[in-house]
Structure 1
Amino acid sequence: MPVGIEAWITQIPPITRGWLALSVLTSLAVQCQLVTPLQLYYSPKNAFVNGQAWRAVTNFFYFGPISLDFVFHLFFFMRYSRMLEESSFANRKADYFWLLFLSSIMLLGLSPLFNLPFLSSPLAFVPIYIWSRRHPSTPISLFGLITITAPYLPFALVAFSWVLNGTWKAATADLVGCAVGHVGWFMRDVWLREMVGGPTFFSHAPDRVKRLFGDL
């Protein structure tokens, strides 16, 4: 592997890097027919009644077959997850993991309501949405065609996903991710500041999680 690529990978903060690596490896495993999507998708019955608990995890790392849609979601998730982890969560690996963990729990609960067997795309929109709300005046150039401010970014990407897939099914999944991202942003940036005035279970990881990531 070229030194430049190695340096680029090591510069990605750890939570985003781990998420990216697992997502790429999962899609490659499916592409090489080592596993099938039927072994990875999430359903409450299979995960919690039939004892296939791994489904509650593996569905977050499968972005579909390697395609333009795969590259689209992986690129934007990696870009804005990295930017969020490097800014708002700098030197706070446990807190960023906790944000994604709580968001994953919410998505698992919402999955049956929207018939979403794979939650990788909705989870990817959580850091995109939170970053966009924390940088409201930042201009974003989309594909060199139009320039928008950051708060409109998630919805512009949802619209592009709809055009790319030709169906609202993919857009629905991304919108669910935006909704969960909004809850995460509200709990940390609005409710925490205006109603609590200090850290809570929802905004900061428990000490045992911080010790696991070496943040204590």
Structure 2
Amino acid sequence: MIFLYRYCRMLEEGSFQGWTADFVFMFFFSCLLITIFGLFINLVFLGQAFTIMMVYIWSCWNPFVCMNFFGLLIFQAPFLPWILMGFSLLLGNSIIVDLLGIAVGHIYFSLEDVFPNQPGGERLLKTPSILKVIFDSPEDDPNYNPLPEEWAGGFAWGEGQRRGGGGLNNLNLVFNL
């Protein structure tokens, strides 16, 4: 749960900053693929695969981040999913779940980042417009002015001193009131 929270948060605040609908679409797409692949290999609990998938996508988009594993191993971020899989193997767990998460993460990363950047490549994963309507805020119109200048009453609003610019004079004014 800690890994899921941490890497989900780092993806949301980093790579998907301002792209909430795309972040939600990544969730839906990944969950769909993990569920379909999980049916074929008879996996019931897919949470670990989802976590490894999030770690894989984060590590692909942050290749130069230095990681530290229990203070023993120092490596760059793209190796993190593989080291977690090795640690899982060391603990005697099946690595099928980890491989599933890595495979789904690789599919998403390839379709979202690698293939569109190839010559003649195009973006195959497009976030549905309904998700954009629900999750993304409308774009700001630079020409939009909610209050015309003549509505201000002719006063020079906002032309006073800057906050904290008055020094002791501002303090005297406050205490004389």
Q: CA deviation at 1:199?
A: 4.5
CA separation in 2, counterparts of 1:214 and 1:112?
Answer: 33
CA separation in 1, counterparts of 2:131 and 2:28?
Answer: 11
Q: Answer yes or no: is 1:140 the counterpart of 2:62.
A: no
Residue 195 to residue 119, structure 1, CA distance change in 2 (3 Å): farther
Contact 1:94–1:213, Cα closer than 8 Å, also in 2: yes
Contact 1:94–1:215, Cα closer than 8 Å, also in 2: no
Higher relative contact order, structure no. (Cα contacts within 8 Å, ≥ 6 residues apart): 2
Q: CA deviation at 1:196?
A: 5.4
Q: Answer yes or no: is 1:128 the counterpart of 2:50.
A: no
CA separation in 1, counterparts of 2:137 and 2:67?
Answer: 33
Q: Answer yes or no: is 1:167 the counterpart of 2:89.
A: no
Identity of aligned residues (%): 35
Partner of 1:152: 79
Cα displacement string for residues 173-210 of structure 1 (whole angstroms, at most 9, x for unaligned residues): 1210010000001011111121555544x1x4211111
Question: Given the two structures, how large is their TM-score scaled by the length of structure 2?
Answer: 0.72
Contact 2:16–2:23, Cα closer than 8 Å, also in 1: yes
CA separation in 2, counterparts of 1:106 and 1:127?
Answer: 13
Match of 1:177 among 98, 101, 116: 101
How many residue pairs were aligned? 138
Contact 2:111–2:123, Cα closer than 8 Å, also in 1: no
Q: Which residue type is aligned with residue 182 of structure 1?
A: H
Matches within 5 A, 1:88-103: 88-103=15-30
Q: Which residue type is aligned with residue 133 of structure 1?
A: C
Q: Which residue type is aligned with residue 207 of structure 1?
A: S
Partner of 2:129: 207
User: What secondary structure sits across from 2:45 in the alignment?
Assistant: coil
Query: Which of these two proteins has the greater Rg computed from alpha carbons?
Result: 2
Contact 1:92–1:215, Cα closer than 8 Å, also in 2: no
Match of 1:189 among 113, 117, 121: 113
Partner of 1:113: 40
Cα displacement string for residues 157-177 of structure 1 (whole angstroms, at most 9, x for unaligned residues): 11222333x232xx2112100
User: What secondary structure sits across from 1:147 in the alignment?
Assistant: strand
Q: Answer yes or no: is 1:80 the counterpart of 2:7.
A: yes
| Stretches (4+) displaced over 3 A | 195-200
Question: Given the two structures, how large is their TM-score scaled by the length of structure 1?
Answer: 0.59
Contact 1:107–1:119, Cα closer than 8 Å, also in 2: yes
Q: CA deviation at 1:215?
A: 3.5
Unmatched 5+ residue regions in structure 1? 1-73
Residue 172 to residue 190, structure 1, CA distance change in 2 (3 Å): same
Residue 123 to residue 215, structure 1, CA distance change in 2 (3 Å): farther
CA separation in 2, counterparts of 1:187 and 1:80?
Answer: 20
Higher helix share: 1
